[in-house]
Structure 1
Amino acid sequence: MSEKIKIIDCDVHNSLRSERDLLPYLPDAWKDRVAQSGLGLMYSGYYSPVGVGRQDAMPPGGGGVGSDPDFVIKQLMEPYNMEYAILTGNLFSVSVGHDPDFAAVVASAYNDYLIEHWLDKDPRFKGSLFVALQDPQLAAKEIDRLGSHPGFVQVVSSSASRMPLGQRYYHPIYEAAERNGLPIALHPGAEGAGQANPPTAAGYPTWYIEWHTCLSTTFMAHLTSLICEGVFEKYPRLKFVFIEGGVSWLPHLMWRLDKNYTALRSQVPWLKKMPSAYIRDHCFFTTQPIEEPSQPSHLKHIFEMIDAEHILLYSSDYPHWDFDSPDHILRWLKPEERRRIFYENAKQLYKL
């Protein structure tokens, strides 16, 4: 880049050094379980031949990638002139376990851990308030408990679920988020695990490459559900952030929804405008993993179709294998477009 612009990274995966880090924050009734057996997280089960983390992201003092705040600052934030890093964690598998009480307890413990070990350490770290999906009433209670903490800028949960996320079962979460002035962020990672649905509409694929490629289809289903179930009419101040699900699929979904709405609007009488308008007014999408075709002009056309300048947020996905360096992606953007996508949109959304 010819100009060193300020950046807000909207998907930085901090992690625990050990699951035992949560023990001081767990109620006594749950400490023995975690101390003896760990969290028992259910992952997707798909083997990645390149692993998950960058090999160069291991902290020199030990621990897994993303577990050392000082090293995240040194390796990521300072070299790339990042004003803020939005921490998204890596406990998404908690939301597909079978015990709703345990899932809620782990979410609360993690949030307290995040405050003490990350948010209080450096004001450039901003947190995502983690909630589990199994019991929306408990999730809403957690949002009300910590939603006013200045270090949290959004609520985050897994895109892996038992049903489409627009359905009214989940509405207590959205009501609490709107009440606390926080966007809702969805992040993949546990599709096909535990009590979640299969990771594709056709069922369970064989290989990680299939699983990883089809993650965007889950986002398409959730977004369609959120619109058609009237979530944005019921909660008009609510914003959604779709993290790590790609963006190139968005135009055809907007066109298909609008086309079907013209004939089938009687099924969704609560909608007061075209479905694509709700997407533009209420939804943001992170850049990573950005789809960069061999002909950059093709992606430029997609950006024009979705008004990318106003709905995209830069994300690196640090410290994962498919990290997108801000110096190497979307170089063809005009300076104003780059400034909005890499900085201004997030600054405005998160009130930074």
Structure 2
Amino acid sequence: MTKRVIDADGHICEPPALWNDYVEKRYRADTIRVERDADGRDWMSINGTIRRNLRPAAACVPWGMDDPDKVPTWDDILPGSYDGGARIGVLDEEGIERALLFPSLYLLAGDIEDSAVAAAACHAYNEWIADMCRDGRGRLSAVGIVPLQSAEAARREVAHIARLGLKGVCFRPERYRGLPLYDESLKPFWEAVAGDGLFAAVHGSFGALMPSFATGRYDNLFFSHMICHPFEQMAACLDIVAGGVLERHPRLRIAFLESGLGWLEYWLDRLDGHFESMGQHVPWLKRRPSELFREQCFISIESDEAHRLPRLAEMGLEQCILWGADYPHYDCTYPGAVKDLEEHLAPLPAGLANGVRWRTAERFLGLV
């Protein structure tokens, strides 16, 4: 019997049409682009400057980092990463009912220095991804990205995202220009997200130049990739939960994605402990952090973390856990993502496994 499976953290790879056709002409040179040099090598360009340390295709095809002597170009990105019809073929091949799509290159939009360029890049990306989803026969959903370089521009883009029919807003866990997620200036942004029935997805990646735990310490990819996802997500979770964002906006749904599951038990236990012993320093926080997380937050699981689920169920967090395939990135399991998931879910009770397969994602996406 075929089981329902929803991919709650899939990706696309942006085609050249995005920056050549969708981005407003006066901003195209400074937006995020892939540029090819005279030797046929592709590099990332942001703010009008080529980044010689970032070969984008290596991270955006499943085999991209397997062979150091075979460096892919942007021509090698898979059609399922930018064409809605082709992506439906991937879903059928894998046995996935529907997918929620996130950016790849445009996860680096926080590196755009000019607020107007950032706003134009986000606006264009959101138009493009909405068009891709229209070719997905109702099985593709997506998040829009927001330019948190400006709180007001981000608020305005929320309305655009809602009009396009996208499911939520996405931003990086690092602080945009040092702005904490609980800052007063972001209240209208959070109100707009919750008021339009959208969710917020905190999704990091490596390769950004924003001030962060990784960029402040390391220039070696092994080290920076080790910490950029979990450390930044723990900090974003602290800002959102302890900073009062959830209590001020009780209808808000927030997901912390692609950072692993292992940190959550420790972090919530530590947050609760601080709430009990040092609560006077956060007088706006009236409820235990773990209670707030349980009611309003979500976190994605990688297949091989399924053994952690019984403990999280004991904490009452089973309804917070989603699964993401991460296609078409270099570290995804493809082909065979669902097969791998099922092997790891097999020892678990059916109710707990079905929550990861589809039930929590369905609730997160607002499908029920």
**What TM-score bracket applies, with the shorter chain setting the length?**
0.7 to 0.9
Number of paired residues? 335
After the TM superposition, which segments of 4 or more aligned residues of structure 1 sit over 4 Å from their partners? 31-39, 42-48
Q: Post-superposition shift, 1:120? A: 4.3
- Any unmatched runs of 5+ in structure 1? 57-61
Structure 1 stretch displaced more, 160-169 or 247-256:
160-169
| 1:30 and 2:27 matched | yes
Alignment of 1:137-148 (within 5 A): 137-148=152-163
Alpha-carbon distance between aligned partners in 2 of 1:24 and 1:104, rounded to the nearest angstrom: 16
- 2:301 equivalent in structure 1: 287
Q: What's the C-alpha RMSD, in Å, of the aligned pairs?
A: 3.0
Q: Which has the higher helix share?
A: 2
In structure 1, how many angstroms separate the alpha carbons of the residues matched to 2:352 and 2:129? 33
| TM-score using structure 2 length | 0.81
Task: Give the aligned partner of residue 171 of structure 1.
Answer: 187
Q: 1:336 matched to which residue of 2?
A: 351
Separation in 2, partners of 1:350, 1:144: 18
Residues 44 and 133 (structure 1), Cα distance of their counterparts in 2 relative to 1, 3 Å cut:
farther
Who is 2:321 aligned against? Answer: 312
Seen in structure 2, the aligned counterparts of structure 1 residues 199 and 289 have a Cα distance that, compared at 3 Å, is farther
Q: Which residue, 305, 314, 323 being the options, matches 2:332?
A: 323
The structural deviation recorded for 1:83 is: 2.0
With over 3 angstroms needed to count, the CA separation of the structure-2 counterparts of 1:47 and 1:86, relative to structure 1, is same
Question: Percent identity of the aligned residues?
Answer: 22
Aligned partner of residue 326 in structure 1, secondary structure: helix
Matched, 1:156 2:166: no
Q: Structure 1 residue 306: deviation in Å?
A: 4.1
Taking the aligned partners of 1:96 and 1:33, their CA distance within structure 2 comes to 11
TM-score by length of 1: 0.85
- Asked if 1 retains the 8 angstrom alpha-carbon contact of 2:301 and 2:321, the reply is yes
Q: Structure 2: how far apart are the matches of 1:107 and 1:142?
A: 8
Equivalent in 12, 30, 55 of residue 63 of structure 2: 55
- Asked if structure 1 preserves the Cα contact closer than 8 Å seen for 2:33 and 2:46, the reply is no
Report the 3-state secondary structure (helix = DSSP H, G, I; strand = E; otherwise coil) of the residue aligned with 1:327: helix
CA 308–316 in structure 1, closer or farther in 2 if over 3 Å, else same: farther
- Counterpart of 2:266 in structure 1 is 252
After TM superposition, the structure 1 stretch with the greater mean CA deviation from structure 2, 258-267 or 238-247, is 258-267
The correspondence for 1:211, drawn from 221, 224, 234, is 224
- The partner residue of 1:97 within 91, 100, 112 is 112
Distance 1:36 1:55 in 2: 22
**CA shift for structure 1 position 140:** 0.9
Q: 1:129 aligns with which of 144, 147, 168?
A: 144
